[in-house]
Amino acid sequence: MSNSAWGTLSDQAVAFAGVVYFLALLAHLVEWSALRQVATPATVTAGSGEVLVAERPGPTAASSSRAELFGRLGVLLTAGAAFVHFIALLGRGMAADPNRVPWGNMYEFTLSGTFVVAVLYLALYRKLALHWMAPIVVAFVLTLLMVAVIWLYGPVAPLTEALNSPWLVIHVVSAVIATGAFTIGGIASVLYLVKSKHPDAGGYLARVPEPPALDRIAYRLHSFAFPVWTFAVLITGPIWAHQAWSSFWNWDPKEVWAFITWVVYAGYLHARATAGWRGRRAAWLALVGMATLWFNFIGINYFSTTSQHSYAGLEAPRVPGPAQTSR
C-alpha cells in the first residue's frame, strides 16, 4: 500500500469509526429510553460494597430485556468503533514517510486521546461495572472526534526534528493514557455530583451506582492516572525537554498548564484525606482538573502562540532552526 493509500484509509477509517460510535450512542440511547418506562428501579446496596442495581420485575419486563439487548449492542458497536479507530491511527502512522507513531500534530493527538478513552472504558467495563457510563463516554469520544476532524485536521507530515526522539513514544503514551483515565474518572465524578444531588431520580440516573460507589470508581481511576501523569509531565517531559531544548523546565505555557493540572489533581487526592473536603468538594476539584487537562490538550495551542509545544502549524514559526521549527 502506498503512503497516500494509507492516508486515505486513515481518513475513511476515522469517518467510519465516527459512524459506528454514533450507532453505539443510538443503541445506548434506545437502551436508556427503554429503561425510562421501567418502574423506578430499586437500588440495592449489599453491605457497603458492591452496588447491585436490580430492576424490579414487573409488567415492563419486555422493555427491560430490550434495554439489555441494546445495551449489549451498544458495547459491541463501541468495541467495533474502537477497532476501526485503531486502524485510523495505524493508517496515519503508515502514511508518513518514514513510518512513525501517529503523534505528530494536534489532530493525531486528539485521535489518540479519544482512542485511549474508548479503550480504557472498554477495558474497565467489567471490572468497574461501567455500563452506566456508556452513553457519556461514547458521546464524549464522538464529539472530540468531530472536533478533531473539523478543526484540527492536518495532512500527514513527517515529524519535526525535535519530535524525532524515542521520548516521543514514552512521553506521549503516558500523557495520553493519563488523559484517558482522568477523563473517565472525571465522568464518574460528574455523575457523583449529579447523583448525590438527585438521589431518587429515575431513568438513566437510576442505573448509575450509588454515590459512594461512584466516588470509589472516580478515586480508583484518578489514583491510577495521577502517577502516570506524574511520570509523563514531571519525569519524561523534563528529560526530553532537557535533551531537545537544553532546559528541563522552561515554563512554556503547555508545561505550566500540565503543572497546573498536576497540582489540581494533587489537590484532589489531598482533599480526599482532609475532613470537610471529601465528597462533593473533592469531586469538584476533579472536574476542575479535567477542565485544565483538556484546556491544555487542545485549548492552549490556540490561546498562547508562545508555546514550544505548538504543533500542526497553527502558526508560522517565528524563527526557524532545528529546534524551533513548528513544534
Q: How far is the CB of 230 from other proteins (least distance, A)?
A: 5
Task: Decide if residue 294 touches other proteins (CB under 8 A).
Answer: no
Q: Tell me which amino acid residue 297 is.
A: F
Task: Decide if residue 208 touches other proteins (CB under 8 A).
Answer: no
Q: Which among 24-32, 40-48, 58-66, 84-92 is the span making contact with other proteins, rule CB under 8 A?
A: 40-48
Considering only residues 118-157, where is the footprint of other proteins by CB under 8 A? 155-157
Q: Which among 62-70, 127-135, 199-207, 313-321 is the span making contact with other proteins, rule CB under 8 A?
A: 313-321
Task: Decide if residue 245 touches other proteins (CB under 8 A).
Answer: yes
Q: Which among 14-22, 28-36, 56-64, 303-311 is the span making contact with other proteins, rule CB under 8 A?
A: 303-311
Task: Decide if residue 89 touches other proteins (CB under 8 A).
Answer: no
Q: Are 81 and 118 in contact (CB under 8 A)?
A: yes
| Chain CA centroid to CA 282, Å | 20
Nearer to other proteins, 59 or 166 (CB): 166
Task: Decide if residue 323 touches other proteins (CB under 8 A).
Answer: yes
CA angle 200, 203, 207 (to 5 degrees): 80
Which residues, in sequence order, are CB contacts of 15 under 8 Å at separation 6+?
149
Task: Decide if residue 40 touches other proteins (CB under 8 A).
Answer: no
Number of H helices, E strands in the chain: 11, 2
Nearer to other proteins, 33 or 250 (CB): 250
Among 36, 40, 49, 76, binds other proteins (CB under 8 A): 49
Task: Decide if residue 98 touches other proteins (CB under 8 A).
Answer: no
- C-alpha span between 266 and 268 (Å, rounded): 5
